[in-house]
Amino acid sequence: MEYSLNYKTCMPYSRWHEEICDLKKHIKERCEEIKTKYSTQKELYHKELESEEMKGEDCGNAFEQHNDPSLDIRLNQNKEFISLEVEINSTLEKILKNIVDEFKFCGTKSHKESYFDFYSRLIKNGKQIEISDLKSEKEIITDMRKKRNDSEHNTDSLLRNIDAEYVMKIANAVYDYIDKLVQKLYCKK
């Protein structure tokens, strides 16, 4: 399907597109800050460890046993990446809610249904658009939401494998999802 680029200049479509562009840019900047912050902390620790080891192997081993911040660094880094997941999710839901409000779609949300699924369903049914080609983006978003939810309710999940590349993968999937959805809405106006 060939899309017009006019949606980027026509309100309210341009506003939604701008919001998702701003989110993607912000997430990329924050990922870089987080990576730099925690790699610097790791480097400082390793320099201190080397300094202690130069004093003698026993000093180095004792320093490492009592001062190893690796777990704390990983935990704090993960918390910051998880907070980016939360930000991505809330921005996604906000944009979808704004779309629903703009077109005055209404419906009933089931208690088991997420707001993401609810708003997407209202938009799909209200504008009668096909969103099956957004399946891969939706799967990434759903996976992120599940992992984020697990992290909120299970402290062991805070140590899951999460990094800047994973967060950017989510940001890109959300960008693609909203961008394609806005294009489809524009074509149906």
Q: What is the pLDDT of residues 12-55, one digit of tens each?
A: 888 998 999 999 999 999 999 999 998 888 787 767 766 665 66
Distance CA 20, CA 104 (A): 21
* Prediction pTM value: 0.81
Evaluate whether 23 touches 88 at the Cβ level (below 8 Å).
yes
Residue 69, preceding bond cis, omega within 30 degrees? no
User: What single letter denotes the amino acid at residue 119?
Assistant: Y
pLDDT score of 63: 45
Q: Rounded to the nearest 5°, which phi and psi values hold at 83? A: -65, -30
Q: Which of 3-7, 62-66, 109-113 has the lowest mean pLDDT?
A: 62-66
Distance CA 49, CA 142 (A): 42
Helix, strand, coil in percent for the chain, rounding step 5: 85, 0, 15
Band (pLDDT 50/70/90 cuts) for residue 1 is very low
Distance CA 113, CA 102 (A): 21
> Quick one: average pLDDT of 143-161?
75
Distance CA 188, CA 176 (A): 18
Closest CA to 177 of 129, 111, 121, 120: 120
pLDDT score of 70: 73
